[in-house]
């Protein structure tokens, strides 16, 4: 009986005091201002194409140099100086521009022998105006004709 009375008193005390608790003060000019994050504008993603694996891989170049019309070559071995692509197959022709190490070209014509050098007519795959005759000494096959 006494225990029940004590429990009732405790319950009454808790309920009365909980009603007296003041709500948390809310300042009309709060120090914290929530800034919504900026809306991100999605940047465009490029279209990516990967061609299927060729059924017959072009393979390593034949032992005889391997450069052939329709294949691709890259310039190599100029130590950054670049390779002169000329208006004709021979040292007497004027250079048109410099091809740089690792620059890729498609082989369009050749070979032509002149000045003890084998020459190939190359065209950049991205700019047909970037074309000229190049000495094979500084050409490395990327692929033979696909």
Partner 1 sequence: MDIRPAEITANRANSIVTIQWNDGHRSAYPFGLLRAACPCASCRGGHENMSAEPDAEVFSTVLPESPATRIRSVEAAGSYAIIIEWEDGHHYGIYNWHYLRALCPCEECRSRFGEAV
Task: State yes or no: residue 129 binds partner 1 (CB under 8 A).
Answer: no
Helix (H, G, I), strand (E, B) or coil at 141: strand
Closest CA to 109 of 77, 136, 146, 127: 136
Helix (H) or strand (E) holding 7: helix 2-20
Task: State yes or no: residue 132 binds partner 1 (CB under 8 A).
Answer: no
Task: State yes or no: residue 63 binds partner 1 (CB under 8 A).
Answer: no
Binding mask 72-91 for partner 1 (x = CB under 8 A): x-x-xxxxxxx---------
Partners of 104 in the beta sheet?
74
98 class by beta-carbon count within 10 Å (0-12 exposed, 13-18 middle, 19+ buried): middle
Task: State yes or no: residue 136 binds partner 1 (CB under 8 A).
Answer: no
Strand 127-135 versus strand 117-124 pairing type? antiparallel
Task: State yes or no: residue 38 binds partner 1 (CB under 8 A).
Answer: no
**Nearer to partner 1 among residue 70 and residue 113 (C-beta):** 70
**Nearer to partner 1 among residue 62 and residue 125 (C-beta):** 125
Residue keyed to tokens 């990967």:
50
**Nearer to partner 1 among residue 30 and residue 47 (C-beta):** 47
Chain residues in the site for partner 1 (CB under 8 A): 42-54, 58-60, 72, 74, 76-82, 97-104, 124-127, 130, 140, 142-143, 146
């Amino acid at each position: 009986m006494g225990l029940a009375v004590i429990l009732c008193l405790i319950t009454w005390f808790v309920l009365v005091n909980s009603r007296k608790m003041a709500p948390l003060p809310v300042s009309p000019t709060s120090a914290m201002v929530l800034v919504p994050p900026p809306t991100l504008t999605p940047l465009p993603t490029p279209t990516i194409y990967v061609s299927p694996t060729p059924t017959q891989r072009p393979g390593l170049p034949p032992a005889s140099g391997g450069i052939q019309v329709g294949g691709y070559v890259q310039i190599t071995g100029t130590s950054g100086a670049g390779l002169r692509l000329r208006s004709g197959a021979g040292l007497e022709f004027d250079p048109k521009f410099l091809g740089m190490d690792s620059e890729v070209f498609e082989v369009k014509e050749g070979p032509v022998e002149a000045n003890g050098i084998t020459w190939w007519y190359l065209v950049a795959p991205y700019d047909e105006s970037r074309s000229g005759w190049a000495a094979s000494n500084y050409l490395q096959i990327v692929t033979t004709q696909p």
